Amino acid sequence: MAYKTKPARTDVVIIGAGASGAAAAKVLCEAGVKVVALEKGPWRKKESFGGDELANINRYNLWPDPILNPRTWRETADDDARSEMFCPVPQMVGGGTVHWQGWLPRFTENDFRLRTVAGDLPGTSLADWPITYDELEPYYLKVEWAFGVSGQPGANKFESRRSGGYPCPPMPISRYAQKFIKGCDALGWNAFPTPQAALSRPFNGRKATVVSAFAQQHGDPTGTRSSALNVFIPDAVATGNFELRPDCVVRELTLDSEGNIKAAIYQDADGDTIEQEADLFILACGAMETARLMLLSKSGRFPNGVANGSDMVGRNVTFHEYSAAVGTYDDPVYAWAGGGYVSASTFQHYEHDASRGFVSGGHIAVAGVGIPLPINWRMPGTPSWGAEAKKNDRDHFSHSLAIAMVLHDMPQHENRIDLDETVVDAWGLPVARVTLKPHRNDVDQGRYLIDRGADILEASGALTIRRVYADRVTGNCSHQHGTARMGDDGATSVLNRWCRAHEVENLYAVDGSPFPTGTGANPTLTIMANAWRVADKIIAERGAAV
Partner 1 sequence: MSDTFFNPHQRATVEAAMARIIPTDDTPGAREAGCVDFVDRYLSGIGYIFAKPDGSGFEVLEGASAKAWMQRIEIMRERYVAGLLDLDARAHERFSADFVALAPQQQDDILHELEQAGTGAPRTLAVNDALAGPVSPQPALQQTSTEVDLDFLPLMVTHTRQGYYADPIYGGNRNRIGWEVIGFPGPASLKDVHIGRYTTLQYFAEGEADKVREFHDGL
Residues of the shown chain interacting with ligand FAD in the complex, contacts defined by CB under 6 A? 15-21, 38-41, 89, 91-92, 95-97, 99-103, 216-217, 249-250, 284-286, 289, 293, 478-479, 511-512, 522-525, 527
Residue 20 or residue 392: which is nearer to ligand FAD going by CB? 20
Stretch that binds partner 1, among 16-24, 248-256, 390-398, 536-544 (CB under 8 A): 390-398
* Residue 459 is a binding residue for partner 1 (CB under 8 A): no
Cα distance between residue 56 and residue 44, in whole Å: 14
Nearest approach, Cβ of residue 516 and ligand FAD (Å): 16
133-147 helix and 524-542 helix, angle to the nearest 10 degrees = 100
> Could you give phi then psi for residue 532, rounded to 5 degrees?
-65, -45
The residue among 118 and 248 lying less far from ligand FAD, judged by its C-beta, is 248
Residue 372 within binding range of partner 1, rule CB under 8 A: yes
The smaller minimum CB distance to ligand FAD, of residues 95 and 370, is found at: 95
CB-based burial label for 101 (10 Å; 0-12, 13-18, 19+): buried
286: partner contacted, choices partner 1, ligand FAD, none (Cβ within 5-8 A by kind): ligand FAD
Smallest distance, ligand FAD to C-beta of residue 122, A: 29
Q: Is 15 in the site for partner 1 (CB under 8 A)?
A: no
Which range in 237-245, 357-365, 467-475, 479-487 contacts partner 1 by CB under 8 A?
467-475
From the list partner 1, ligand FAD, none, partner contacted by residue 187 (C-beta under 5 to 8 A by kind): none
Site for partner 1 in 336-365 (CB under 8 A): 336-338, 342
Q: What is the largest CA-CA distance in the chain?
A: 71
214 binding partner (options partner 1, ligand FAD, none; Cβ < 5 to 8 Å by kind): partner 1
**What residue 15 binds from partner 1, ligand FAD, none (CB within 5 to 8 A, per partner kind)?**
ligand FAD
CB 265 within 8 A of CB 7: no
Which CB sits closer to partner 1, 64 or 516?
64
Taking CB within 5 to 8 Å according to partner kind, which of ligand FAD, partner 1, none is near residue 45? none
Number of residues near partner 1 (by CB under 8 A): 91
Binding to partner 1 (CB under 8 A) within 49-68 occurs at 49-55, 57-61, 63-68
Segment 158 to 217, residues that bind partner 1, using CB under 8 A: 172-175, 177-178, 200-202, 207-208, 210-214, 216-217
Judged by beta carbon, residue 52 or residue 503, the one nearer partner 1 is 52
C-alpha–C-alpha distance, residues 414 and 94, integer Å: 31
- Estimate to the nearest angstrom the gap between the alpha carbon of 299 and the chain centroid: 30
Rounded to a whole number of angstroms, the minimum distance from the CB of residue 231 to partner 1 is 18
When asked if residue 324 is in the footprint of partner 1 (CB under 8 A), the reply is yes
Q: Is 477 in the site for partner 1 (CB under 8 A)?
A: yes
**Least distance from partner 1 to the Cβ atom of residue 181, Å:** 10
Query: H-helix or E-strand containing 432?
Result: strand 430-435
Distance from C-alpha of 124 to C-alpha of 410, rounded to nearest angstrom: 6
DSSP string, 211-276: P-S--TTS--TTS-B--IIIIIHHHHHHTT-EEEE-S-EEEEEEE-TTSSEEEEEEE-TTS-EEEE
Q: 204 is in the binding site of which of partner 1, ligand FAD, none (Cβ under 5 to 8 A by kind)? A: none
Pick from partner 1, ligand FAD, none: which does 242 bind, CB < 5 to 8 A by kind?
none
516 binds, among ligand FAD, partner 1, none (CB under 5 to 8 A by kind): none
Output the smallest distance, CB 264 to ligand FAD, in A. Answer: 8
- Distance, in Å, from the CA atom of 368 to the CA atom of 236, rounded to the nearest integer, reads 35
Coil, helix or strand at residue 325: strand
**Contacts for 300 with CB less than 8 Å, ≥ 6 apart:** none
Residue 47 interacts with, from partner 1, ligand FAD, none (CB under 5-8 Å by kind): partner 1
Measured over the CA atoms of residue 136, residue 139, residue 143 and residue 145, the dihedral's sign is positive
Q: State whether the Cα torsion 218-223-225-230 is positive or negative.
A: positive
- Tell me the C-alpha distance between 288 and 285, whole Å: 8
Nearest to partner 1 of 142, 466 (CB atom): 466
> Taking CA 146 as the corner, what is the angle to CA 22 and CA 87, rounded to the nearest 5 degrees?
45
387's enclosing H/E stretch is helix 387-396
Is 2 a binding residue for partner 1 by CB under 8 A? The answer is no
Q: Which of residues 402-441 bind partner 1 (CB under 8 A)?
A: 402, 404, 426
Q: Which of 351, 370, 371 is nearest to 361 (CA)?
A: 351
Residue type at position 499: C
**Rounded distance between C-alpha atoms, residue 323 and residue 203, angstroms:** 33
What's the rounded Cα separation, in Å, for the pair 226 and 445? 31
- Residue nearer to ligand FAD on the CB measure, 39 or 220: 39
By CB under 8 A, which span of 2-10, 114-122, 218-226, 526-534 interacts with partner 1? 218-226
User: Cβ closer to partner 1: 18 or 309?
Assistant: 18
CB closer to ligand FAD, 97 vs 506? 97
Task: Report the residue number, 473 or 534, with the smaller CB distance to partner 1.
Answer: 473
Report the distance separating Cα 148 and Cα 163, nearest Å.
16
Could you tell me where the DSSP H helices lie in 31-87? 53
Q: Which of 250, 366, 261 is closest to 306 using CA atoms?
A: 261
**Which amino acid is present at 140?**
Y
